[in-house]
Amino acid sequence: MSNKDEVFLATTALEEFWDTSKPLLFMGEWCNRFSRRAFWETLEYSFLPNPWSSLDKINAGNQYLNKVYEDILEIVGSKLNIIHGVDRSKRYWRIVLGVWLFHYAANVYDKFLRLKSITEIYPQYTTILLSEKDYIIPSDTEDFVVRIINDTYNLQIISRMLKLEGKILPERGIASPEKRQIPQVNNSLSKSIKMLWYKLLDGKANNGMYMQSSYFSKSDEFRLKVRFKSKLALGFDEQLPMDELVTNLTMRAELSDMKIDTEDEFVRILVKLIPQDIPFCFLEGYQTLYLASKKKFRKYSNVKAIFSGTSWYFDETFKIWAADAREKGVALLGGQHGGMYGINANLHQEDYELSIVDKYFTWGWDREGFNNKIIPMAALKLNDIKDLQADNQLKDILFVSNIWPRYFLRFTPILPHEVSTYIEWQIRFAAGLDKNIRDALHIRGYINDFGWEYADRWSDAKLEVIMDSWEIPFRKRLEQCRLVICDNTATTFLEVLASNKPTILFWDFETHYIRPEAMPFFDELIRVGILYKTPESAAHTVNQIYFDIESWWNNPELQKVRSRFCERFARVGPLREWIYEFSKVIAG
């Protein structure tokens, strides 16, 4: 295709929005569903250039996005203060809407770069937009995330962007448009049991601490409650019901009157998009949620500290209450709740959590510049983990993989354009195993494959591996296997190493960017034969060690390196360490 050709930009995997009579230009790998390759492989097509093709571009993009996020947060927060008649700090609005704002901005920025490149390469391009009658505004942060990982909402954002550019393009409706998801009361049996449990652990926490979604085990929560009695109250994430909301055009018009003096083309577009797409919970529904948060948390009016691992993300009433409490001087405490923290470069969730809390408990690592905030501790999630050790009597090899959304949300170890290669590496590993060993291989993919059709890709490889079921809890499955394989830096590999279960790791160091201060610990894993840089070398080692896993895993030098690594990134320790830290917080 020459740059004078009229090409058609395929923006999503929704094929009814493609015009196959023209050469297709796919906006990204998310357009190409694996199950439909027999169709799209027969077409004339190419891909837009990928804006994240090198570490330098990723670092620059991350730095730029962080700056834009900070600038826009200031502007949006100030405008929301006026709209809602309040005077809240930037930190308040960071807690309340920061998760949505960053991920929305990141998604739009990725689209902005791709649309800019097609305008430069194929100025005569055409595409089909989503009809405005099918546009939808998310209810809250969770509803936004559910939508942004799927096709229709991404098509909506692209359509808005192209209209802002003044493009006159054909539009089309969706045959079965999605409806906005309104948070409803959950009356399930499991919810009722959970409510009874936390009612037992509740209290006013006068001059004490409130804890929610902590990642402590139930037994540890109970022990903490017994120790601190009325000084500790424990709760859980709960999406309060929100009535059907009608778009308030006056409110959104007022928000659109954001003044920003900049020549930055992306920022100008983002400022125009935010008033159209900001979730209802921050605008039309804010007052309702604010009153609901006051009612729900009114008994905790005299707490000294609020602690959570994950409620900072999707529990809107908790976020409003915690942000309001911080304005009044209550300390906010956060805790690491998974892998990649302290390990991967450009990890937004780590930066975000550090930015909103006063103290942050990690699984053993620290970070330059945060000495007064970070407290290395025993891992919350690993406090009750068993020491499983090696066992030659077991058979199964459990390969625990991960997957990431098809659309760009933030810089993750695997970006959308890298997912197919990531899965191919897994298949290369399986192909490298001796047949009698491969027969023991069980593949445990992520519970949601985000439309990558993970199981179909394995089936297409014709290696006759067993797809593991999520019906058996991971900890139980861990006890049943002889060896665990991990190919990413998410939570699982830390959990497995902490359990002392024989482990082989491998991943592409060109995508899993390890931060410099963490790399010496990974170099040691490489040295003793736990971590590998190619799937073939990992498979070769499995072929050598499988029939006497005990001798390999119990090697003193290997165990020393494993223990040292876990002390830094997956520390296991007694609950009394937490009791000591919480006692200091409560004592003030």
102 lies in the same domain as 140: yes
Cβ contact 117:28 at 8 Å? no
User: 349 vs 170, 312, 453, CA distance in Å?
Assistant: 38, 10, 27
Look at the chain and report how many structural domains it folds into. Answer: 3
Q: Please state, in angstroms and rounded to a whole number, the distance separating the CA atoms of residues 588 and 584.
A: 6
Is residue 51 predicted with pLDDT exceeding 60?
yes
Tell which residue, 165, 153, 181, has the closest CA to residue 407: 153
| Relative orientation angle of helices 55-84 and 90-121, to the nearest 10 degrees | 130
Tell which residue, 154, 70, 147, has the closest CA to residue 107: 154
Is residue 68 predicted with pLDDT exceeding 80?
yes
Within a domain: residue 47? no
414 lies in the same domain as 444: yes
User: Which among 252, 282, 312 is the end of a domain?
Assistant: 282
Within a domain: residue 2? no
15 Cα distance to chain centroid: 28
Q: How much is the average pLDDT of 412-438?
A: 97
229 lies in the same domain as 113: no
Q: Please state, in angstroms and rounded to a whole number, the distance separating the CA atoms of residues 555 and 124.
A: 64
Within a domain: residue 183? no
Q: How much is the average pLDDT of 477-482?
A: 96
Within a domain: residue 289? yes
351 lies in the same domain as 454: no
Tell me what pLDDT residue 305 has.
96
- Between 234 and 405, the more confident residue is 405
530 lies in the same domain as 455: yes
Q: pTM of the full predicted structure? A: 0.94
Structure tokens at 556: 């003193």
Q: Please state, in angstroms and rounded to a whole number, the distance separating the CA atoms of residues 376 and 386.
A: 21
Q: Please state, in angstroms and rounded to a whole number, the distance separating the CA atoms of residues 268 and 284.
A: 24
459 lies in the same domain as 539: yes
Q: How many other CB atoms are there within 10 angstroms of residue 368's CB atom?
A: 7
Tell me what pLDDT residue 198 has.
53
Please, what's the largest Cα pairwise distance for the chain?
Answer: 74
- Dihedral angle of Cα 11, 16, 19, 24, to the nearest 10 degrees: 40
Q: How many other CB atoms are there within 10 angstroms of residue 476's CB atom?
A: 8
Tell me what pLDDT residue 14 has.
98
Is residue 185 predicted with pLDDT exceeding 50?
no
Strand partners, 211: 234, 307
Q: How confident is the model at residue 515 (pLDDT cuts 50, 70, 90)?
A: very high
Within a domain: residue 322? yes
User: Which among 282, 307, 333 is the end of a domain?
Assistant: 282
Tell me what pLDDT residue 189 has.
53
508 lies in the same domain as 548: yes
Within a domain: residue 42? no
Residue 343: what are its φ and ψ, rounded to 5°?
A: -120, -60
416 lies in the same domain as 343: no
Structure tokens at 86: 């309040």
| Domain hosting residue 421, numbered range | 396-569
148 lies in the same domain as 266: yes
Query: Per-residue pLDDT tens for 287-315?
Result: 999 999 999 999 898 999 999 999 999 99
Query: Per-residue pLDDT tens for 441-468?
Result: 999 999 999 999 999 999 999 999 999 9
Tell me what pLDDT residue 2 has.
53
Helices marked H in 413-555 — which ranges? 419-432, 435-438, 454-461, 474-480, 491-498, 519-527, 535-545, 549-553
For the chain, report the end-to-end CA distance as a whole number of angstroms: 68
147 lies in the same domain as 212: no
Cβ contact 317:293 at 8 Å? yes
Q: Please state, in angstroms and rounded to a whole number, the distance separating the CA atoms of residues 71 and 93.
A: 13
Tell me what pLDDT residue 177 has.
59
412 lies in the same domain as 522: yes
Q: Please, which residues have CB within 8 angstroms of residue 386's CB and are 6 or more apart in sequence? A: 475, 479, 499
Tell which residue, 194, 233, 234, has the closest CA to residue 213: 234
Within a domain: residue 494? yes
442 lies in the same domain as 304: no
Tell me what pLDDT residue 260 has.
86
Report helix, strand or coil for 256.
Answer: helix
Give the H/E segment covering residue 482. Answer: strand 481-486
Is residue 5 predicted with pLDDT exceeding 80?
no
Q: What is the mean pLDDT of the chain?
A: 93
User: Identity (one letter) of the amino acid at 347?
Assistant: L
**CATH code, domain carrying 537:** 3.40.50.2000
Supply the DSSP string of 279-327, one letter for each residue. Answer: -GGGTTTHHHHHHHHHHHTGGGTT-SEEEESSHHHH-HHHHHHHHHHHH
- Between 326 and 447, the more confident residue is 326
Q: How confident is the model at residue 203 (pLDDT cuts 50, 70, 90)?
A: low
User: 199 vs 202, 204, 260, CA distance in Å?
Assistant: 5, 11, 48
Q: How much is the average pLDDT of 322-338?
A: 97
Query: Per-residue pLDDT tens for 517-547?
Result: 999 999 999 999 999 999 999 999 999 999 9
Query: Per-residue pLDDT tens for 101-152?
Result: 999 999 999 999 999 999 999 998 999 999 999 999 999 999 999 999 999 9
Q: How confident is the model at residue 175 (pLDDT cuts 50, 70, 90)?
A: confident
Within a domain: residue 164? yes
Tell which residue, 228, 198, 238, has the closest CA to residue 305: 228
Q: How confident is the model at residue 572 (pLDDT cuts 50, 70, 90)?
A: very high
Supply the DSSP string of 342-410, one letter for each residue. Answer: TTBSS-HHHHHHHHH-SEEEESS---TT-TTTEEE---GGGTT-------TT--EEEEE-----SS--S
Q: Please, which residues have CB within 8 angstroms of residue 350's CB and are 6 or more apart in sequence? A: 340, 341, 342
Tell me what pLDDT residue 472 has.
92
Tell which residue, 145, 448, 105, has the closest CA to residue 272: 105
User: Which among 282, 308, 331 is the end of a domain?
Assistant: 282
Query: Per-residue pLDDT tens for 345-385?
Result: 999 999 999 999 999 999 999 999 998 999 999 999 998 89
Tell which residue, 142, 34, 98, 160, has the closest CA to residue 450: 34
Supply the DSSP string of 49-118, one letter for each residue. Answer: PPTT-SHHHHHHHHHHHHHHHHHHHHHHHHHHHHHHT----HHHHHHHHHHHHHHHHHHHHHHHHHHHHH
Residue in the structure block whose two tokens are 């804890």: 211
Is residue 235 predicted with pLDDT exceeding 90?
no
